[in-house]
Structure 1
Amino acid sequence: MNSHVEAVPEEEPASKRAFITLSVMLATIMQALDTTIANVALPHMKGTMSATQDQISWVLTSYIVASAIAMPLTGFVAARIGRKRLFLFSVVGFTFASVLCGAAQSLEQIILFRLLQGIFGASLVPLSQSVLLDTYPTEQHGSAMAMWGVGVMVGPILGPSLGGWLTEYYNWRWVFYINVPFGIMAWLGIAAYVKETKLDPDRRFDLFGFALLGIAIGSLQMFLDRGESLNWFSSLEVIIEASLAALTFYMFAVHMFTHRAPFLDPMMFKDRNYVVGLLFGFMIGVILLATMALLPPFLQNLMGYPVLDVGLLLTPRGFGTMTGMMIVGRLSGKVDLRYLVTIGLLLMIVSLWQMTKFSVDVTRWEIVWTGTVQGLGLGLVFVPLSTLTFSTLAPRYRNEGTALYSLVRNIGSSIGISLVTTYLSHRVQINHAVYAEHINHFNPALQDAVQKGVYDLSTTSGLVNLNNMVTKQASIFGYLQDFRFMMYVCIIMLPLLVLLRRPGASK
């Protein structure tokens, strides 16, 4: 097995802790914001770069794939060059790559610079989490994770509204330039206050293991990102990507448990809380961004809201998340964290259940309060879950443990978005076919609409209008079925709580 240096957190003065927390949170927000802020600017980039929809989607795909492949390297690189050096190098690289993205003049350039952004940004979130865990004593880990969680969860939630505002009033390039002040402040704070860790020069790099994991993650992300546009398994490219991902994941698992010095130390997986936390994190990832992928098109395409109004309607979800995290910060150490996770999951279930009742007549208030309740539930789940996951894990595993935790959550988000979008298109087709069966001369509602002049079935335009109405109703019901699917995911998570131990309950 790899040799490790045990990292025991030292007691830091409160003022120094505050500066460390602020600095790493800025880095976290910068990276988390970039996962969604560029989405709303894609149509404007498409026009500037004279690209097709399929071509411009690589702006997102390149970032996601590069970040996913580079993230598992965090533990090894931090052990060899030092966590602080890696942190500073990543902040500088991410900020500079953001400037290059904003200045890009062609599609090839922006895809290349987004690749660099993904590589440099991959380690920011796991490093910020491990720094905070080492900065605060064990009894304050709940509060530390609450502050860290604000950046991780609020960034993706506020990204679309901030990106829409910048694109509307300035230019799409500003969705990248906005990272510059965050990057400068984060670098100054980390350089001044974060301590360097001890190096582990004897740690060997398992190139074969990393290659297998990198190919597996890259193939999986490509499969998830390209599957919808290529009609999934009817495409040879998608079949190759799925097969390659399955084969290399299997080979990596066998290699990890049989090699003398594997890329990931399998001893981490002897910790029950950590393994259950990984599973929980994956499922939370499914919920976290899937709702944000569904609500904007639902509000814009079916409800007719402009993009800025959509951003404003979704913003309270972020405030609900921050409120939940502040509650966790105050209650940490005073109540069993598993109770907070239970309450959070129940709030998410209630919110999603209410969303299954949405219609074209849904009011702004209903959209706001269901989003706020869901955000509050996410805040109550995310932070205690992070604390419980690492409560019994040995400190020497924190760098690679946090990297794997972030990676699994990101993969969950990618799978979640692919699942809900594919399920939506599938259900819309089925719903349309079912509704169309009732469009006949024996339907009293249709007869009444024809008599009132709502539809003129003797003309082509009248038939088109009727078909558009059926498609709209089928789409609305498809979204509601997606919300119900996510509600079931939350219900499935509840029994997993019994597998989590309280901090200090196990050796």
Structure 2
Amino acid sequence: MSTSSGMATQDVGAREAPPLRGAWLALLTFALSLATFIEVLDSTVTNVAVPSIAGSLAVSNSQATWVISSYSVAAAIAVPLTGWLSQRFGEARLFIWSVLMFTLTSLLCGMAGNLELLVLCRAMQGLSSGPMVPLSQAILLRSFPPHRRVLALALWAMTVLLAPIFGPVLGGWIIDQFSWPWIFFINLPIGLFAFAACAALLQRERPDARQPPIDTMGIVLLVVGVGALQGMLDLGRDHGWFDSPLIVCLSSIAALALVSLLIWESAEPFPVIDLSLFRDRTFSFGVAIISLGMVSFSVIGVIFPLWLQTVMGYTAFQAGLTVAPLGILALVFSMLIGIFLDRFDARIVTSFGFMVFFAVLAWDAHFTLTMSFSQIVTPTFIQGIGLPCFFIPLSAAILSRIPNEKLAAASGLSNFLRTLSAALGTALSVTWWDNRAAQHYGTLAQSVTQASSGTSQFLRSLQAFGPVGNQLTVVRNVVEQQAYMMATNDLFYMASLVCLALAMLMWATKPWHGVSAARAGQ
């Protein structure tokens, strides 16, 4: 009895402990940022490792992509459960154990000797990583004083934004210098440091003894619906989308499960997903805008390097170098926004960010096959201004009217919809890119005839390539290359119009002037 009483006294003391300040707060922020960085990095760094993994484990490239799919499916399932899990176990405990499990499963991934074990370990790693990003956001907000919480959001956003940019470059360098297991082994020292620092600094409250009943049906519907949807997005392009019975089956299961989930959760007194958050207009519009913004950003993250490698002939490392400059101004403006955002209306800053994206993507829509490296890098460098200008204020606006006790649930739900939208944008943009290229190829091929003076002149210039068969192969390659260039321009143009629309839609929200104002008023 006395032991129990002593533990209760310790918990109360933990609750009443003064907030961290100075060097200790800086250390906690650094540890949280590192944990977030390695989680986001791990979701992209494996993309360039697929050929190396396939060769090492003696499997095909398509089989090796399950290393990516298993992680994304598991993480997609775990992220929306963050709010419910944090209520049952406490935010700090859940985050600390998630970091530790993520680190240990990274070790197991690097030690895996066959594909089956690697896929299983990656799934476990994805389940562990799910709560890390939303909880790091919620914990940072709660750890900082009200007048510094936008700065906390800026620090968090830097890790979320920069990790996907530098992930492919870092992954390519590690594989070239070492071998694919090291893309997992590098998580060990970082993860262990983050675990030790957070375990020492975070105040852990004992979960309420009166736990609400488990929403078993909600969890089952969530796992089935999100798993089927993520599987459909990952496998759709390789299986010809709805021409495949597998994709039709997965999409039907996803639609049925997710619709049933919405109906069930709306009537469930203790839901695993708190749909009441959408009653706040700023949260609803903010989540919708940032999700659509990430769809547009996926064009840069996916189509841009694809175009460089398949059309322009760049290597994977060179393609990564063209995207990396985006992070320079993104880093600088993240800090500036963190310091000065409270002085401005978040809608003005966000609209400016989307207008930068609109202008740069419209610029990209005029790219040609003769572009030099510097001509390609310049707009990408400028685009770094727009990325934090829309992401940080939107993140602040989304949480600006959310009560403290619902921060973890709101952060988990918004991050889930954001990452799911990015996955949807990736899948749709690649498919649309291929389809538009096929349409342009058909149109261009019709003009390549013997009667065309341009074709005749081009064929005469190809006399050095030998027989007519070789010349026709060159013509076909040139037409295909031009078709993909035109498709790339189309996609950039469409994405620019989406950003223009989002700049205007932002004015439908009514956020506080920075997240700190909302927190201070609660």
Q: CA deviation at 1:222?
A: 0.8
Q: Which amino acid aligns with 1:80?
A: R
What is the distance in 2 between the residues matched to 1:325 and 1:149? 8
Query: Which residue is equivalent to 2:432?
Result: 423
Q: Which string of whole-angstrom CA distances, capped at 9 and with x for unpartnered residues, describes residues 383-441 of structure 1?
A: 11111110111111111111111110110111000111000110111011000010012
- 3-state DSSP of counterpart to 1:172: coil
Worse-matched range after superposition: 441-450 or 222-231: 441-450
State the AA in 2 paired with 1:167.
I
Q: CA deviation at 1:157?
A: 0.9
Deviation at 1:297, TM superposition (A): 2.1
Aligned to 1:277: 286
Choose 467-476 or 495-504, whichever is displaced more: 495-504
- Structure 1 position 242, deviation (Å): 0.9
Q: 2:266 aligns with which of 241, 251, 257?
A: 257
Give the C-alpha shift of residue 233 in structure 1. Answer: 0.6
Contact 2:54 / 2:61 at 8 angstroms: preserved in 1? yes
What are structure 2's unaligned runs of at least 5 residues? 1-14
Aligned AA (1:83)? E
**Moved segments of 4+, more than 4 Å:** 7-11, 454-458, 504-507
Give distance in 2, aligned partners of 1:261 and 1:86.
Answer: 20
Q: Which residues in structure 2 correspond to 1:422-461 (within 5 Å)?
A: 422-454=431-463, 459-461=468-470
Aligned to 1:114: 122
Match of 1:425, as an amino acid? D
Change (3 A) 1:362 1:229: same
Please name the residue that 1:3 is paired with.
none
Q: Which residue of 2 aligns with 1:386?
A: 395
- Residue 215 of structure 1: aligned partner: 224
Query: Is the CA contact 2:286–2:506 (under 8 Å) kept in the aligned structure 1?
Result: no
Matching residue of 1:154: 162
Looking at structure 1, the residues matched to 236 and 109 of structure 2 have their Cα atoms a distance apart, in angstroms, of: 26
Residue 315 (structure 1) aligns with: 324
Consecutive unaligned residues in structure 1, runs of 5 or more: 1-6
80, 86, 91: which one pairs with 2:94?
A: 86
Conserved in 2, the CA contact under 8 Å of 1:10 and 1:134? no
Q: CA deviation at 1:10?
A: 6.7
1:53-132 map, 5 Å? 53-132=61-140
Q: Which of 48, 52, 61 in structure 2 is aligned with 1:40?
A: 48
Deviations 1:160-188 (A, max 9, x none): 00001111111111111111121011112
3-state SS of the aligned residue for 2:203?
coil
Moved more, 408-417 or 317-326: 317-326
In the alignment, the residues of structure 2 paired with residue 81 and residue 260 of structure 1 have an alpha-carbon distance, to the nearest angstrom, of 19
What is aligned with 2:255? 246
CA shift at 1:290, angstroms?
Answer: 3.2
2:306 match: 297
Cα distance in 1 for residues equivalent to 2:368 and 2:494: 17
Q: Which residue of 1 aligns with 2:418?
A: 409
Most deviating of 83-92 and 108-117: 83-92
User: What amino acid is aligned across from residue 197 of structure 1 in structure 2?
Assistant: E
Q: Is the 8 A contact 1:61 1:225 kept in 2?
A: yes
CA–CA distance in structure 1, aligned partners of residues 95 and 460 of structure 2: 70
**Which of 504, 511, 514 is the matching residue for 1:502?**
511
Compute the displacement of 1:462 (Å): 1.7
Asked if residue 288 in structure 1 is aligned to residue 297 in structure 2, the reply is: yes
2:191 is aligned with 1:183: yes
Deviations 1:306-362 (A, max 9, x none): 222222222111222212211211212111121111111011111111111111211
Q: What amino acid does structure 2 have at the position aligned with 1:275?
A: S
Partner of 1:236: 245
Deviations 1:76-111 (A, max 9, x none): 222222222111111111111111111111110110
User: Which segment drifts farther, 31-40 or 132-141?
Assistant: 132-141
Task: Show the counterpart of 1:166.
Answer: 174
CA distance in 1, matches of 2:86, 2:165: 29
Asked if 1:346 corresponds to 2:350, the answer is no
**Offset of residue 112 of structure 1:** 0.6
Contact 1:40-1:163 within 8 A present in 2 as well: yes
Task: Answer with 141-150 or 78-87: which moved more.
Answer: 78-87
- The one-letter code matched in structure 2 to 1:20 is L
Partner of 1:467: 476
How many matched pairs? 501
Which residue number corresponds to residue 367 of structure 2? 358
Contact 2:169/2:320 (CA < 8 Å) preserved in 1?
Answer: yes
Moved more, 444-453 or 497-506: 497-506
Between 1:380-389 and 1:461-470, the stretch displaced more is 461-470
Contact 2:325 2:381 in 1 (8 A): yes
Contact 1:64–1:118 under 8 Å retained in 2: yes
Contact 1:348 1:373 in 2 (8 A): no
Instruction: Quote the Cα distance in structure 2 between the aligned partners of 1:414 and 1:282.
Output: 10
Cα distance in 1 for partners of 2:274, 2:298 equals: 30
SS of 2:369's equivalent?
coil
* Contact 1:457–1:463 under 8 Å retained in 2: no
Which of the residues 496, 499, 504 maps onto 1:490? 499
Alignment RMSD (CA, Å): 1.9
Quick check: 1:52 aligned with 2:60? yes
Contact 2:290–2:418 (CA<8 Å) still a contact in 1? yes
Is the counterpart of residue 196 in structure 1 residue 198 in structure 2?
A: no
Q: 1:239 to 1:138 in 2, by over 3 A?
A: same
My pick for the range that moved more, 181-190 or 307-316, is 307-316
**TM-score, L = length of structure 1:** 0.95
Q: Does 230-239 or 14-23 show the bigger shift?
A: 14-23
Q: Distance in 2 between matches of 1:60 and 1:331?
A: 38
Contact 1:344 1:377 in 2 (8 A): yes
> What SS class does the counterpart of residue 343 from structure 2 fall into?
coil
Deviations 1:415-474 (A, max 9, x none): 000111000110111011000010012222112122333587962222112111111111
CA distance in 1, matches of 2:141, 2:240: 43
3-state SS of 1:38 partner: helix
Q: Structure 1 pair 428/10, CA: closer, same or farther in 2 (3 Å)?
A: farther
Assess if the C-alpha contact under 8 Å between 1:455 and 1:465 holds in 2.
no
Q: 2:3 aligns to what?
A: none
Partner Cα separation in structure 2 for residue 418 and residue 232 of structure 1: 10
Percent sequence identity over aligned pairs = 29
Cα shift at 1:274 = 1.2
Contact 1:8-1:395 within 8 A present in 2 as well? no
- Secondary structure in structure 1 of the residue aligned to 2:447: coil
Aligned to 1:25: 33
For the 8 Å contact 1:227–1:238, the answer to whether it is kept is: yes
Q: 2 CA distance for matches of 1:253 and 1:502?
A: 26
Deviation at 1:120, TM superposition (A): 0.4
Give distance in 1, aligned partners of 2:489 and 2:16: 48
* CA-to-aligned-CA distance 1:178-232 (integer Å, 9 cap, x gap): 1112101111210121112352332222110111122111111111111100001
